[in-house]
Structure 1
Amino acid sequence: MYNILCIITPGDNKDTIQYLFTALRALVETYQTQAYEKKVHVSAPPIPVLQMSPREAFYSDTEVIPLKEASGRVSAESIMVYPPGIPIFIPGEIISDESLRYIEANVAAGLPVQGLEDESLKTIHVIKEMQAIR
């Protein structure tokens, strides 16, 4: 198990909160001998530059290219590390070398990077570059 997110809302009461605590205690007792601490150091991603609005990117022509070759291109997809779920970049933002290194660092650290249509993280949809008319 990697993470657990527990949310207590105004709809909960003493009984439901106690039920949660009981379940968490049971998890600790069950997996305590298998647990180990894994320190992961990953920095915050750079703030990307918005080239076009996400709406404009959504309606633009796109092409699929290798993710490793996407630096300088405008993304047509979102990608994030979850948790926390904050996008590294969204459609319309310029993909930077720093963002690609951030993605690689998170993958190497074993963190779940997701959001691309290609779950293997090998390719990405980017805005098709316009060619000059001759």
Structure 2
Amino acid sequence: MGRVGEIENIKPRLLENLMNADFVPVMACIARDKEGNSMNVNADDFAGAIAAAIQADFYISLTDVDGLYANYPDPKSILSEVKLDTLASLYGQVIQGGMIPKIQSCEKALKNGVKNVLILNGTQPSQLDDFFQKGIKSGTTLTH
């Protein structure tokens, strides 16, 4: 394939119809350009854009660390909550490397109607269960 694209627009009707019929859509981050050519899209961008397009209640970005750290890798420095208006000041210091596209997708999702944005450790599956089944928060929550 070799082509990389950016998401400009999503038509969520098919996704909404599938979810309304109790299907769980599983998608690859492949999109089409205006000429119909297949394009690879960054997975974080894709997930955040889908969440915004369907106005999801939750967008959860999974990574291999426990959240956003003020002083990586000090586990006591995990930021449990970060306000949207403070994100810009964290780029280059707290937000670096592979976290940049994740945080950018979270930021876009939150700005475009997603109600709750979480960053959790995907290597710890219990974090999802703890949050949704037991109400136990971990990771980092991004808020307005």
Shorter-chain TM-score bucket reads under 0.3
| Structure richer in strand, relative to its length | 2
Higher Cα radius of gyration: 1
| Structure richer in helix, relative to its length | 2
Using the size of structure 2 for normalisation, the TM-score is 0.23
